[in-house]
Amino acid sequence: MQILKRPMGEYQTNCYIVKIDNKEIIIDPGMGATEWVMANVQNPIAILNTHGHFDHVWSNSELQKRLNIPLYSPKGDVMLLQSSGWMPGLPPSTPDIEVEGDQTFEIGGIKIKFHHFPGHCPGCSMIEIGDAIFSGDFLFEGSIGRWDFPYSDSEAMRQSLKKFSTWREDKTLYPGHGNPTSVGKELQNVDYWLRVV
């Protein structure tokens, strides 16, 4: 598996391309992601969203049209794909597959598991592919997603942190912003965040 990353837009939101067996999966195509994605895919099979905030989904619709591949988005955030109070110019997109909670898919022979961790927003999820976990805006290196935005929920964030605290398998985390980290490293911070949220 090969993972390409490019921070996109003003918020430097990480767009990822996962290459497996001569197939590509695009994760969180944000602002200005289209040309970079088009230059780096040959056989794309799906677009995945970790959640619905504008800086992670801006190029959804353009890539859907140009690549004619399905878009998978968490059901709780579908309303955020249609409009954004922060960025009124958001190009609206409609998922082909609305992901409900913790759900596993096989796309082109590749196993993809969505892990639902609401709090930052209703649909906030981490996506597991092989030994990699794309944590979106739930977990960052030494930090977690904000819980003071519209549609955020501090109690849901607390429950998500408790759910994450039960994880035991250490894998690399690729967050929506910043540098990679790991499940093991971020488990060390859970007790602190539970006191803060």
Q: How confident is the model at residue 96 (pLDDT cuts 50, 70, 90)?
A: very high
* Average pLDDT over every residue of 120-135: 98
* Average pLDDT over every residue of 134-140: 98
Q: Which pLDDT score, from 0 to 100, does residue 62 have?
A: 98
Q: Which pLDDT score, from 0 to 100, does residue 97 have?
A: 98
Q: Which pLDDT score, from 0 to 100, does residue 87 have?
A: 77
What is the spatial distance between Cα 127 and Cα 130, in angstroms, rounded to a whole number?
10
* Average pLDDT over every residue of 128-132: 98
**Structural domain of 39:** 2-196
Q: How confident is the model at residue 86 (pLDDT cuts 50, 70, 90)?
A: confident
* Average pLDDT over every residue of 104-122: 98
CB proximity list for 49: less than 8 A, separation 6 or greater:
27, 28, 56, 57, 60, 71, 72, 73, 74, 77, 81, 95
> Looking at the predicted structure, is the pLDDT value of residue 84 above 80?
no
Q: Which pLDDT score, from 0 to 100, does residue 114 have?
A: 98
Q: How many domains is the chain built from? A: 1
pLDDT tens digits for range 33-64: 999 999 999 999 999 999 999 999 999 999 99
Domain CATH for 14: 3.60.15.10
Q: Which pLDDT score, from 0 to 100, does residue 174 have?
A: 98
What is the spatial distance between Cα 176 and Cα 11, in angstroms, rounded to a whole number?
10
> Looking at the predicted structure, is the pLDDT value of residue 169 above 80?
yes
What is the spatial distance between Cα 135 and Cα 53, in angstroms, rounded to a whole number?
14
